[in-house]
Chain A
Amino acid sequence: MEKSSGVTNTEESGLLLKDTELRLGLPGSESPEMEDHDQNVLSLKSFVSGAKRGFSDALDGGGKWVFSGGSGGGSEGLFSPRRGGNNNGGNDLSGPDSGLGGPVLKDGVAPKPLVVQEKKSQVAAGNGNTAPASKAQVVGWPPIRSFRKNTMASHPPKNDNDDDNAEAKFGSGCLYVKVSMDGAPYLRKVDLKIYGGYKELSSALEKMFSCFTIGQCGSHGVSSRDVLSESRLIDLLHGSEYVLTYEDKDGDWMLVGDVPWEMFTNCCKRLRIMKSTEAIGLAPRAMEKCKTRT
């Protein structure tokens, strides 16, 4: 049985180490600085140093966010999950044990920010708790299986205290819905809770499927209403347009963007990106449904 050769085979490991000579530091500098010179470097460094940083510190909103969408998430190591007053416990990289640091950026080329996810504030409705305004959630943490999450979310545990809290419990954790696209080889799952609105959802799905659009009802003669739909993209490859539809709790298929975002996340069961030619029949139904909806 082969044993690890890491320790004994120094020549071999030396060879490899030489290939991968790493230094810790900013581009153009030699010393391991910890200051925040660059927003992108900050992302990497804060992760590497083990310091916990709020997600909002790492991004100033300039430049394009690269969402990886729902399942599979990004690297959430960048930002700190909610803090409960923990300390660092001396995790500084400047300590004696930390000889081997992390990756370094070469040649002044800053990489794109590592993929991050932002969660909406998870403030429980109506309770007087001093919950932090923004609780960034980490994908896949705590490690609870989807089956359990979905089961508990659909029937939030009853609480002696107040039913207002029910929303804040499992239900607020995440809300994965399946996304299928006509012609795509497999489904994706996205967590609706991590998006602030239709625009973000649209961007994320765009990245995932690389060509679709959230439709407007406009082309079907539907006019003055509060339609919250967003950008329209044309699929260059196929030369056709796609629209985003969803199945609601009643089993009806509707165009995405017709209703306020909160209402949408509450009643959306699954998403489907379909060719707009197929979606023509949807619009009138969507309208009717909206009319009857209070």
Chain B
Amino acid sequence: MHKKTAFSFPDEVLEHVFSFIQSDKDRNSVSMVCKSWYEIERWCRRKVFVGNCYAVSPRMVIKRFPEIRSIELKGKPHFADFNLVPDGWGGYVFPWIVEMAGAVPWLEEIKLKRMVVTDESLELIAKSFKNFKALVLSSCEGFSTDGLAAIAASCKNLKELDLRDCDVDDLSGHLLSHFPDTYTSLVSLNISCLGSDEVSFSTLERLVCRCTNLRTLRLNRAVPLDKIANILRRAPQLVDFGTGTYAADLRPDSYSDLAGAFSSCKELRSLSGFWDVVPDYLPAIYPVCSKLTSLNLSYATIQSPELIKLVSHCPNLQRLLVLDYIEDSGLEVLASSCKNLQELRVFPSDPFGVEPNVSLTEQGLVAVSSGCPKLQSVLYFCRRMSNEALVTVAKNCPNFTRFRLCIIEPRTADYQTLEPLDVGFGAIVQYCKDLQRLSLSGLLTDRVFEYIGTYAKKLEMLSVAFAGDSDLGLHHVLSGCESLRKLEIRDCPFGDKALLANAAKLETMRSLWMSSCAVSFRACKLLGQKMPRLNVEVIDERGPPDSRPESCPVDKLYIYRTVAGSRFDMPPFVWTMEDDPSLQLS
């Protein structure tokens, strides 16, 4: 029974006010004001984001937020992308679907990242949620086109089916043919990862024809170039288009057909796909280039001159993904042509080659940093770097929010001075005060971590590999980075001391991954015993860690905070360190 004062509003008013508050952080803050706000807020929260599916149980989420319409879950640690997390580790979505199927029948949207999704899960989704609208699966695996077919067939109100970089079992089920003829609500379809799944072109064209609200269409490699013109003509309202194979036999009429089709798409702002590009067909997209804001050429194996021509046609580009074929010369052109560039990703064309195959160096990065004042987000693979270049980049781009540099050979020193790159990365964290994400590479000592701990106060995610000298490095990061949420480390000489000395810090973070480091089994046990709100998982395929001396380093360690206790779905090579109530820290 709460007092009604001049300052309290009826619940409905508060609920209406809260409906304008969308961000999770703000919603969480609102819910902590007082008990009645907590209650009101939880009944009207519509979207929930769970950054680690093991941090909380589905039952708890649904109990607190019974009226959600959208849920976003993340499963495996980020390093799973690079095959560092063994198969079977976990991240199963099925228990969540089961729980929601019963309790949240009006669920509309499910977004999953790095989770194991089965056909059974997909079929349950298709059956359980009558108003289901959006399925976004990012880097997921474990399902086949059969499961997707169930979604296509049953979800009459489906607007979005987005499969990004998923590992899908292609059973050649002709997925698109499972959309009923009466189905017209598609807005966004991304099947780019479906590999060789044959697409019936007539089915695709009919689908595109009747779904007049279609805005995003990303095709898979199996769709040949000569089919694209027909599709584009049927969907001139497209905003985001991903081609299939961008190769065909050169015929004069097919080229002009294609160019005409592209020019009919006045709303097109984003292009991707471009597998197996035949350069002579590239100019077909010139009519839309002037309005393009996003261009993903990261699978296009075309050389620098063609890339330069293309990029020069795109003055409004905000986002570019490209292979290192662009070379320093191409990046210089980019810097002078694309003044609105915010995000750049340069991928290696030959990451396992011994010698560089292209002339892409730190110079390209420096050029872009100098020419593109709005640059905020960089992912750059290269083979050499210098402190001087990094300092220049840092000074040019104080607005960086994401900076990920991968010098391909581990422990590569500054090529000019042969010194570690501590100073260069130090400049990055010092000048880029809003930096949220950082990935390090090259030769690095404990000093770089001292810089990071001192300056990177807004840093939320840090990726470290083959760096550092001692536990001091880890200690600097854990004790200094106030905003740190995710820390992932591989092949660094970090051991027990820093970890145990900063145990409490780990509860303020989402997760910590350490593999091929020097953390002993004894330390893991200790941490697990003393920190009941952490799950300390030892991942070791050599066999049970207690079959080796306690001082032996564990292979992989994954620590995350949780209110759900130990999980029950661990495979035989994962051990959770047990809580011991008598040993808890205050």
Contacts and interface: CB of A to CB of B under 8 A. Distances in A.
Interface of A: 1-7, 9, 12-13, 16-17, 19-20, 22, 44, 47-50, 52, 66, 68-77, 81-82, 84, 86-87, 89-91, 93, 95, 97-107, 109, 111-112, 114-115, 122, 129, 131-132, 135, 137-148, 151-152, 155, 157-160, 168-170, 172-173, 176, 185-189, 191, 207-208
A152 B406 CA distance: 19
B81 A143 contact: yes
B11 interface: no
Contacts of B463: 143
Contacts of A106: 549-551
A102 B87 contact: no
A107 B470 contact: no
A269 B504 CA distance: 47
Interface string B389-426: 00000000000000000101111110000111000000
Nearest to A49: B493
A145 B165 CA distance: 9
A140 B501 contact: no
A173 B301 CA distance: 17
Interface string B550-569: 11110100000000000000
Contacts of A159: 357
Contacts of A160: 303
Given A20-B526, A102-B495, A189 B354 contact: no
8 contacts: A77-B490, A97-B445, A107-B549, A111-B552, A114-B555, A141-B465, A158-B301, A170-B349
A38 B78 CA distance: 35
Nearest to B500: A16
Contact of B516 (A19, A20, A75): A75
Given A20-B500, A22-B497, A66-B542, A72 B410 contact: no
Contacts of B502: 4-6
Which 10 pairs, one residue from A and one from B, show the smallest C-beta to C-beta distance?
A72-B86, A140-B82, A75-B516, A4-B505, A77-B491, A100-B471, A77-B516, A157-B301, A6-B502, A102-B518
Contact of B496 (A5, A20, A50, A151): A20
Contacts of B84: 72-73, 139-140
Interface string B429-457: 00000000001000101100000000000
A87 B493 contact: no
Contacts of A137: 352
A168 to B, nearest CB: 7
A77 to B, nearest CB: 4
B469 A20 contact: no
B469 A87 contact: no
Q: Which of A19, A91, A105 has the most CB of B within 10 A?
A: A91
Contacts of B496: 20, 22, 103
Contacts of A66: 542
A142 B381 contact: yes
Given A4-B508, A77-B516, A89-B443, A129 B355 contact: yes
Contacts of A95: 469
B497 A17 contact: yes
B67 interface: no
A224 to B, nearest CB: 38
A20 B406 CA distance: 34
B275 interface: yes
A168 B522 CA distance: 43
A211 B409 CA distance: 38
A81 B465 CA distance: 13
B1 interface: no
Contacts of A146: 81-83, 167
B470 A207 contact: no
Interface in B526-559: 526, 530, 539, 541-542, 548-553, 555
Contact of B413 (A22, A87, A105): A87
A20 B541 contact: no
Contacts of B112: none
Contacts of A17: 497, 500-501
A286 B81 CA distance: 36
A93 B469 contact: yes
Q: Which of A20, A49, A75, A185 has the most CB of B within 10 A?
A: A20
Given A5-B504, A75-B555, A169-B352, A188 B88 contact: yes
Q: Which of A16, A114, A155 has the most CB of B within 10 A?
A: A16
Contacts of B406: 142-143
A223 B268 CA distance: 64
B364 interface: no
